[in-house]
């Protein structure tokens, strides 16, 4: 049984007052939300404050990225250890904006994932193809490579319990062009088959696979109705409490 997981990736949005107001409202939403897991991923400067503002709730709070080194001369960067230190429990790794805007490679993602697991941070691992890769028939090849480079030889229990995979087609992020439920299901099924091949049926049946890319209140239900879509990683539509609340409500019952 997989619990649907609706997570808001706030990217470089919201200020301190907006984060505080969102969290105050989210406490009420979370108290009512049964059968769905909720999470928010604020900008680094608000991470500690959001952890505190949501203390005592079941809402997951995490970072949008982090570096694997424990400390050092990395001006402007934040270490995984520091994310853990402020009380966050999760980190997003391999987001397409980190891969394509900041040049993070599969090897970088793997190095970060190893450290996250070692430190006790759970991970949302993002995979997804560009439009050009889709148009040239390479979607399966790309997501397979990203999945395998990040997860091969990772402990079975960690994959089942501490890793969420988010399929985020790059062409659907922030564009308003959502993957159709068929397109999403197709790739999600490939990812679950991959998990089955590497880790066996027990792990693959427990692995939560989110879809991300222009998820909105009006399309989330059809996406979540797909058998292998277990939640959503949401950018734009996660920034307003009202919309996030609707996604949370529609997320209930969205996983197999």
Does residue 108 bind ligand 13P (CB under 6 A)? no
Does residue 214 bind ligand 13P (CB under 6 A)? yes
By C-beta, is 74 or 102 nearer to ligand 13P? 102
Does residue 233 bind ligand 13P (CB under 6 A)? yes
Would you give the end-to-end CA distance of the chain in angstroms?
A: 6
By C-beta, is 17 or 101 nearer to ligand 13P? 101
**Cβ at position 48, least distance to ligand 13P in Å:** 21
Of 232, 228, 226, nearest to 212 (Cα)? 232
Of 129, 135, 139, 210, nearest to 172 (Cα)? 129
* Only segment of 25-33, 114-122, 230-238, 248-256 that touches ligand 13P (CB under 6 A): 230-238
In Å, how far from its chain's centre is CA 131?
20
Q: Is 90 a catalytic residue?
A: no
Does residue 234 bind ligand 13P (CB under 6 A)? yes
Torsion of CA 135, 100, 39, 53, to 10 degrees: -160
**Cβ at position 98, least distance to ligand 13P in Å:** 10
By C-beta, is 203 or 232 nearer to ligand 13P? 232
By C-beta, is 4 or 236 nearer to ligand 13P? 236
Does residue 42 bind ligand 13P (CB under 6 A)? no
Nearest position to ligand 13P, beta carbon? 235
Does residue 168 bind ligand 13P (CB under 6 A)? yes
**Cβ at position 156, least distance to ligand 13P in Å:** 26
Burial of 136 by CB count in 10 Å (0-12 exposed, 13-18 middle, 19+ buried)? exposed
209 has which bridge partners? 165
Return the residue matching tokens 């853990």.
Answer: 84
**Cβ at position 162, least distance to ligand 13P in Å:** 19
Of the residues 97, 104, 168, 245, only one is catalytic, namely: 168
Residues that bind ligand 13P (CB under 6 A): 9, 95, 168, 173-174, 212-215, 233-237
Query: Which amino acids are annotated catalytic?
Result: 95, 168
């Amino acid at each position: 049984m997989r619990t649907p997981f609706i997570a808001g990736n706030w990217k470089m949005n919201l200020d301190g007052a907006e984060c505080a107001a969102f969290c105050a409202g989210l406490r009420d939403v979370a108290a009512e939300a049964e059968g769905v897991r909720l999470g928010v991923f604020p900008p680094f400067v608000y991470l500690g404050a959001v952890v505190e503002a949501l203390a005592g709730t079941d809402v997951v709070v995490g970072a949008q990225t982090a570096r694997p080194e424990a400390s050092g001369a990395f001006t402007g960067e934040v270490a995984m250890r520091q994310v853990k230190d402020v009380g966050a429990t999760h980190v997003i790794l391999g987001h397409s904006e980190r891969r394509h805007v900041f040049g993070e490679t599969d090897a970088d993602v793997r190095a970060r994932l190893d450290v996250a697991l070692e430190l006790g941070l759970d991970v949302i691992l993002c995979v997804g193809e560009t439009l050009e890769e889709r148009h040239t028939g390479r979607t399966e090849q790309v997501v397979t490579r990203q999945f395998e480079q990040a997860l091969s030889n990772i402990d079975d229990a960690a994959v089942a319990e501490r890793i969420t995979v988010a399929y985020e087609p790059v062409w659907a992020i922030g564009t308003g062009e959502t993957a159709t439920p068929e397109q999403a299901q197709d790739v999600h099924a490939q990812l679950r088959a991959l998990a089955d091949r590497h880790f066996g049926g027990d792990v693959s049946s427990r692995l939560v696979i989110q879809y991300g890319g222009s998820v909105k209140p009006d399309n989330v239900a059809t996406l979540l109705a797909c058998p292998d879509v277990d939640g959503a990683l949401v950018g734009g539509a996660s920034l307003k409490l009202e919309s996030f609340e609707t996604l949370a409500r529609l997320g209930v019952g969205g996983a197999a």
